[in-house]
Structure 1
């Protein structure tokens, strides 16, 4: 079959089939995807290279200036794809295209913490079958919602245990960033005790906690207008492409789809450049 842009896609017979609406993941967790990409790229992948400046040349190319473990490095390229967050992209493009920069600066990224806790199954009120639960803001519970991780995917908890991944913070609770790790865990545990756990549930095993000061971009009122402003600005920067989660969805599947859509656009531009130089 042909995907968008004419890119041929072939189903891998080793990938288990899923039913419509059914979720899937990797046995080793989502890190399996970037690790597989890194393995394919080999030494073309550069780690700890921080893009500090992007300049446009008279040759219609770009000079990307990087801070690296080996000092400053410069790379000249006909095309550049920026997958950075809006606030990073805004800073990089401010000297080149202020219209794009101002639109991206208006995007907000609230603070969110992800908390992974494990409880004995005997401490859970009932058998958890399903994806998880979301909590409306009017319920007096601070946690945003909980994914029933070990109910969704096999191998996420040993026998007799339930793994729960909760998210707390968000656009209406920026103060979560002022709490330390122990306070965040205690708040999530109190909230879970009101919903999923028995009254005498013991303290959980803390498997992971990650606080993102700037988490998921918000598609607030006027978002489409800002994206149109970005598109107008990009017309003056041929060969530059933006491919981040402030476009058309933040989920992993959305990001993968967006990458497949951008790739043929970049390839077509490079082919046009090659054709024009050969004339």
Structure 2
């Protein structure tokens, strides 16, 4: 069921079946983080449109938007009073360029360096000591290419069979854009070499490779001038009432930040539509 709407905004009703957590304690889903989007998709049912590619946004004289989509069934147009763009900044910049060049220019300034996530499994006999904790981050000055490693099977149960350790490592980033040009085998080699220097015993065998995911454009960087760009975007959007941006370049890239921002944008959309309805009744 939908959470009830309170006067002060959207209320979140806690599920009594979800285990209680302590502040700062990590949590996940038994089936991994994919459980969240799958649950949202199940709630949305046929309102969720898959493989619809937004190609253009037009503004009408009625202060609505025409969203033009390329779909498996051909071109589709949807008219809406509000639009929420959750796309990366470079995609939003392309869509908004005809409507608000100033906003588009600010969005184009966000940088997205390449990052790879490499999930490897090692026999516990090859791990140098018992890994208890979250993982390890590596300062750039250490001469090690990998950015950090999450000790996945130490954090959560059932992430590795008995006798094995699963490690999720991240490599690349703003100072190592070359990662985006390497193939999966080369990236695994780089990560294994670094893990051999930090977490593994001498002579450790080659790992089982569980996953290698490379994002050519990964996490947006909050570089110098970030708040100036956000201010330019905010000012520009004043000429596009009903248009909202809701993505991780706005204010925090973590999952919790994205959830919080989603509820905030939902409340803004609700208030805008309520105000529009009130204005139409008073005319």
**Residue 187 (structure 1) shift:** 0.6
- Hey, what's the Cα distance between the residues in 2 that align with 1:144 and 1:74? 44
Q: 1:195-228 deviations in whole A, cap 9, x for unaligned?
A: 0000121110000010000000000000000000
Please state whether the residue corresponding to 2:130 is helix, strand or coil: coil
Q: Which residue does the alignment assign to 1:105?
A: 108
Q: Structure 2 unaligned segments of length 5 or more: list them.
A: none
Please state whether the residue corresponding to 1:129 is helix, strand or coil: coil
**Residue 258 (structure 1) shift:** 0.3
1:73 aligned to which of 69, 76, 84: 76
**Residue 4 (structure 1) shift:** 11
Asked if residue 246 in structure 1 is aligned to residue 249 in structure 2, the reply is yes
Which consecutive aligned stretches of 4+ in structure 1 deviate over 4 angstroms post-superposition? 1-5
Q: Structure 1 unaligned segments of length 5 or more: list them.
A: none
Q: 1:43-67 deviations in whole A, cap 9, x for unaligned?
A: 0000010100000000000000001
Please state whether the residue corresponding to 1:117 is helix, strand or coil: strand
Asked if residue 54 in structure 1 is aligned to residue 57 in structure 2, the reply is yes
C-alpha change, 1:137 and 1:5, in structure 2 (3 Å) is farther
Q: Please, what TM-score do these two structures have when normalized by structure 2?
A: 0.96
Q: Which residue does the alignment assign to 1:183?
A: 186
CA RMSD in angstroms, aligned pairs only:
1.4
1:167 aligned to which of 166, 170, 175: 170
Asked if residue 271 in structure 1 is aligned to residue 266 in structure 2, the reply is no
**Residue 6 (structure 1) shift:** 2.6
Asked if residue 117 in structure 1 is aligned to residue 128 in structure 2, the reply is no
- Hey, what's the Cα distance between the residues in 1 that align with 2:7 and 2:273? 18
- Hey, what's the Cα distance between the residues in 2 that align with 1:238 and 1:183? 48
Aligned length: 279
- Hey, what's the Cα distance between the residues in 2 that align with 1:222 and 1:247? 13
2:137 aligned to which of 134, 138, 141: 134
Report if aligned partners of 1:5, 1:264 keep a CA contact under 8 Å in 2: no
- Hey, what's the Cα distance between the residues in 2 that align with 1:157 and 1:176? 27
Q: 1:65-94 deviations in whole A, cap 9, x for unaligned?
A: 001111111000000000000000000000
C-alpha change, 1:212 and 1:4, in structure 2 (3 Å) is farther
